[in-house]
Structure 1
Amino acid sequence: MSVQGKYHKSSPILTDKLISNEKRAVYLGWLLVTIGFGGFLLWSALAPLDKGVPVSGNVIVAGNHKTIQHQYGGIIEQLSVNNGEKVQAGQILLTLNTVEVRSEYNIKLKQYHELLVREARLLAEQQGKKRLIISSALQREMKEHDVNELLQLNQQLLENQYQVLQLELAGIKEKITGLNATLYAQQQKAKSQKTQLTMLLQQLEGLRELEKNGYIARNTLLETENKYTEVDGNLAQTLGDISRIQHQILEQKLHSEKLQQEYQKDVHAQLADTQTKINHTYSQLVKAKFILANAQIRAPVAGTIIGMSVFTEGGVIVAGQKMMEIVPDDQPLLVDARVPVQLIDQVKLGLPVELQFTAFNQSTTPKVEGNVTMISADRLLNEQTGEPYYLLQVQVNDKNRQRLNQLTIKPGMPVEVFIRTGERSLLNYLFKPLFDRLHMSLNED
């Protein structure tokens, strides 16, 4: 039998085997498809998928950021930071020019020392002391500054003032001493004249009796009467002189008291004026000292610079001007998002949120978790599009924020926000819109 004949005889058997193998492969294929599709349906029905609301948002600054201001303002000498720069607590932000302030400080310091030493002299004059009375404020300044020249000058002035006053008082005292001596002499003279009058009066009584009886001539009586009248007149003049001298003594004493009173009044007025000027000058000195001490404006906390309004060295800062703000590093990371009004019923406080910072490389930037911390009480209106929305705020907890430590998060950065409202299956996700549409259609019918 030939080979060709042999093959011709076996062809039906091979054909049957091939057909059987083909059917088996098709069966296995359909079996695999059925199992795969069934598994897919089972997974679609049972596997949980996150259900939520996707919205867009942006990073915001928390409310307690630090505003950098200066109480008195000035001229910028050096600007040391830029917008968005990270700074450490105590780092110099900018430096103000101090040339004018330092000059004013030196002038006020000199005036302050002069006033304090003048006060020491006036206090000594007021209390009648021969040495300056040093106040506690002057003692502090003496420890920190050289005021010896002022002290010596005012000590000499105190002594001169004292000498002038004492000379005037000594002159008055000398006049009073002279008047007292004159007064004493006149008083002795008046005493002698009174004694003489007493004796003449006794003589007249005897002479009148003798003249009456004719024992003496009338002329003798008349001479004695004339003598009595003369002495009486002299006594009256002497008493007048005494009264005038006593008045002069009183005037000199009053003049001495008035001189001392006017001196004290003048000292008191000068002292009050000096102390007022001391207080005023001290306040100006404190202000100048404060400006000098705060010429270098430093960061109160570690954080990020935002909202700079000064950019030029040599520029002028007005008192109280907001120069920049610092967002502290320990501030909570907050994100504002706008939720369409038709989805607001799905959003509740405390819901978990997944945040993706789209400004960074998505392959290396992790998604972080947060929670809804605020939902606006009423809907708001987008001024640009006119569309209504609800504003919600999301806060990233500290643990999740640590995952972003290597990134510089700045206010205004865009964020994709996914608010997880629950779980659902893939079948539910695919067929729910169809069922909702069917339900609405049936209700309409």
Structure 2
Amino acid sequence: MQDISAPISARGPIIAGLVIIGVTFFGAGVWASTAPLASAVTAQGTVTLEGKRRAIQHLEGGIIKSLHVREGQEVHAGDVLITLDETQANAAVVRLRTQLDTQLALQARLIAEQSGQENISFPAELKARDTEPKVQEILAGQQQEFNERRKTLVGTVDLLQQKITQLQRTIDGLKAQKESRETQVKLIREELKSLESLLRKGLMNKSRVLELQRGSAQLDGEIGDVTAQIGRAQQQISEAQMQIIQTQQQFREDVVSQLRTAESRAADLQQQVFVANDISKRLDIVAPQSGTVQNLVVTTVGGVISPGEVLMEIAPKEGEFLVEAQVSPLDIDNVSIGQIAEVRFSALDLRTTPVIMGKVVSRSGDRIEPNNRPPYFRVQVETPPEEMKKLQGRKLQAGMPAEVLIQTSERTLMNYLTKPLTDQIRRGMNEQ
């Protein structure tokens, strides 16, 4: 009897153990499928002061002449941070000022030519600086140009005027010749009239009459030739007069065209001179507010600053603290405004410093791609005053590092375990 009951007594514990194991696995499966587990996005961040950190930039850039600050240095509003080299800025002012002076003097000369003045009336701003060698050179150059152009115009008109006078004299001479010949013709005709009666009575030789008739015809031809010469001379006078009008008209049109161009160029140069003067006055880059120098990029005297380049940041000492976290582009889809976040201040003793709770208040619209660093999205986490009281007097400073855990949606353990497989299956189906 003992041999038969031994297997029966051993089977009971085995069955009980299998039941317990099955119940355990079933319970674990149910728990893994239904019990929620919190998930979070981890990101490194930096302590900042809300809306107060100021980036230091220079609109045009330049060459560093002096660097007056270092990383972490405290500065006051108005302190000089960087001084740029003045060589290029001052040279630009001088160059543009000279070009503007030239255009203003040119305008004055053209106005004098347009109105027919005998002298140039230069603007007061040039007369006030006529002791400067460059201004003297510009004024003298325009005065010389004025004299030469006036001399050329007057000379051209005078030559044409002389030609007209000479032609008029020629016409006067031709008219005198014409009158003389006409008088001769008149006398010959009167003589012929008296001889014709004698010829009819036979008291006169016919050869004499014919001779006078030939002389009359010759004089008529000469009168016609002289008349033609007078006509040609009068035509030449008209052409010369037209040339005078055209020369003067062309001169005036050229003056008007040049004056319009000079006025436009002067207006443009005045704006450029204003900008150049403004640049020369902004060679000292000053602190816009009091605070601490952070993220100092430039460290070398003689280095080149690009236009708009961020040179450093000034973080103020007072204000409400924010934490700016750099979230990976792979995780940004799980981050939205209003989510709860845990903040640990890495610079403080983690054993005694409590975790501070906050919430996401902003997220950058596009990813940021700094040089030689991975891209990220900027996420700002606000820590309310009641949470900051947990620090119990521990001092925070802008620029301190922080670790941020942004709580996302809850998922079950089964979701965590099966998500890689389901994602792979989904991608495979999309490819098909």
Q: Superposition pairs for residues 203-352 of structure 1, below 5 Å?
A: 204=192, 211-212=199-200, 214=202, 216-264=204-252, 267=255, 271=259, 274=262, 278=266, 282=270, 285-327=273-315, 332-335=320-323, 349=338
User: Does the aligned pair in 1 maintain the 2:361–2:382 contact within 8 Å?
Assistant: no
Shift of 1:395: 2.9
Deviations 1:25-45, CA, capped at 9 Å, x for gaps:
xxxxxxxxxxxxxxxxxxxxx
Q: RMSD across aligned C-alpha pairs, in angstroms?
A: 4.9
Cα distance in 2 between the residues matched to 1:406 and 1:117:
70
Q: Is the 8 A contact 1:76 1:94 kept in 2?
A: yes
- CA–CA distance in 2 between the matches of 1:56 and 1:318? 31
Query: The residue matched to 1:323 in structure 2 has which SS?
Result: strand
Cα distance change of structure 1 residues 414 and 202 upon mapping to structure 2, 3 Å threshold: same
In structure 2, distance between residues paired with 1:132 and 1:110: 19
Deviation at 1:166, TM superposition (A): 2.1
Contact 1:90 1:298 in 2 (8 A): yes
Cα distance change on mapping 1:56 and 1:207 into 2, 3 Å: closer
State the Cα distance separating 1:406 from its structure 2 match.
11
Matches within 5 A, 1:402-417: 409-414=397-402
Distance 1:71 1:416, change over 3 A: closer
In 2: Cα distance, 1:309 partner to 1:118 partner: 48
Change in CA separation of 1:92 and 1:174 when aligned onto 2, cut-off 3 Å: same
Q: Measure, in 2, the Cα distance between the counterparts of 1:272 and 1:177.
A: 37
Call closer, same or farther: CA 1:100–1:265 in 2, change over 3 Å: same
Residue 229 of structure 1 deviates from its aligned partner by 0.7
Residue number among 334, 353, 372 corresponding to 2:359 in the alignment: 372
Aligned to 1:129: 117
| Mapped contact 2:315–2:398 kept (Cα < 8 A) | no
Distance 1:330 1:214 in 2: 146
Task: After superposition, give the CA deviation of every residue in 1:129-186 in whole Å (9 maximum; x if it has no partner).
Answer: 223254xxx5445557756624355335424532443233223323322322332332
Aligned residue in 1 for 2:85:
97
* CA contact 1:372–1:392 (8 Å) conserved in 2: no
Per the alignment, residue 386 of structure 1 pairs with none
- 2:69 & 2:388 partners in 1: Cα distance? 25
TM-score, normalised via structure 1 length: 0.59
- State the alpha-carbon separation in 1 of the partners of residues 319 and 232 from structure 2: 94
Paired position in structure 2 for 1:166: 154
* Distance of aligned partners of 1:73 and 1:90 in 2 relative to their CA distance in 1, 3 Å threshold: same
1:389-433 deviation line (CA, Å, top 9, x unaligned)? xx985435699999999956123434899x9xxxxxxxxxxxxxx
Aligned pair count?
343
Question: In the superposition, relative to structure 1, how do residues 212 and 129 fare at CA in structure 2: closer, same or farther (>3 Å)?
Answer: same
| Gap regions ≥5 residues in structure 1 | 1-54, 339-347, 377-390, 420-445
SS state of the match for residue 248, structure 1? helix
1:395 pairs, out of 382, 397, 400, with: 382
Bigger CA radius of gyration: 1
TM superposition score normalised by structure 2? 0.61
Q: Is the 2:291–2:315 Cα contact (8 Å) retained in structure 1?
A: yes
**CA deviation profile, 1:324-380 (whole Å, cap 9, x unmatched):** 233456764213689xxxxxxxxx9599x9989674699xx9x9998635388xxxx
Instruction: Give the drift of 1:302.
Output: 3.8
For structure 2, which runs of at least 5 residues remain unmatched after alignment?
1-41, 327-336, 364-377, 408-432
Query: What does residue 84 of structure 1 align with?
Result: 72
Question: 1:382 maps to which residue?
Answer: none
Paired with 2:279 and 2:325, the residues of 1 have a C-alpha distance of 43
Structure 1 counterpart of 2:17: none
